[in-house]
Amino acid sequence: MKIITLENAAQIGEQLGRYYVDFVKAHPSCVLGLATGATPLPTYAAIVKAFQAGEVSFADVTTFNLDEYCDLPKENKNSYYTFMWQNLFQYLDIKKENVNFLDGNAADYDAESRRYAEAIRAAGGIDLQFLGIGRNGHIAFNEPADAFTDEPFRVALTQSTIDANSIYFDDAPMPHYAMTMGIGSIMRSKQIVLVATGESKAQAVKGMIEGEVTPRLPASVLQQHADVTVYLDKAAASLLG
């Protein structure tokens, strides 16, 4: 794991946004794995700024988002579909048909999981995967568990995640289930960047980097990936030895 510690979230956004722009310029037909939550927002803002300055095109880029809530209309402001269009895709020249999400309202969750896994494979796999991290060490919606997961699946969210994310749900109850890429789907990405900012992530970050590899702290599995870069602000890095 390569660790880059910067002063704050804004600096990470600038640096990582620049990395994405250079990556897409070098690989115009790349496949990006994308994340939601507060963490990626500064990076997405930097990407949009560079696009608007005419520096880069996303016309041939394909994306796969990590996860989506179940039982929430995709038009709801808290769906990850809406989040991605509002914060990133609407500003870019990306083609709608190249944007991929898990369907949290699928009639058959197993069939939907297989469809997504197959779509990732058909696209040639994920070249560069963005990850945030939950306070309990989850990545995507892979919650602490007895074993590492593999392909996409439907997950019951833990109380820690419900508490962290329910602040956004002022107009509808927070879903207790989600569809998520599995740990295997994430680990098969060729390159991974994980960003953690803020003091609330410090304990999970310490476990991820310095702890044993365990499904009880899902992000710890990244120690076994050959190409991971972790971007931390000072607060998220504060417990590292």
Report the interface residues with ligand GLP, using CB under 6 A: 35-39, 66-67, 132-134, 140-141, 161, 165
- Active-site residue flag, 146: no
- Indicate which residue of 138, 142, 165, 233 is catalytic: 138
Name the residue with the smallest CB distance to ligand GLP. Answer: 132
User: Can you tell me the distance from the alpha carbon of 114 to that of 117, in angstroms, rounded to the nearest whole number?
Assistant: 5
CB of 204 to ligand GLP, least distance (A): 10
CB of 54 to ligand GLP, least distance (A): 29
Q: Are 145 and 218 in contact (CB under 8 A)?
A: yes
CB of 172 to ligand GLP, least distance (A): 16
From residue 31, give the alpha-carbon distance in Å to each of 59, 183, 224. 12, 18, 22
Nearer to ligand GLP, 56 or 130 (CB): 130
Buried b (16+ CB within 10 A) or exposed e, 61-93: bbbbbbbbbbebeeeeebbbbbbbeeebbebbe
Closest CA to 35 of 158, 232, 186, 190: 186
Nearer to ligand GLP, 79 or 165 (CB): 165
Chain centroid, CA 183 distance in Å? 12
Nearer to ligand GLP, 67 or 233 (CB): 67
What type of residue is 203? Q
- Active-site residue flag, 138: yes
Nearer to ligand GLP, 13 or 134 (CB): 134
CB of 233 to ligand GLP, least distance (A): 12
- Indicate which residue of 65, 78, 98, 136 is catalytic: 136
* Catalytic site positions: 67, 136, 138, 143
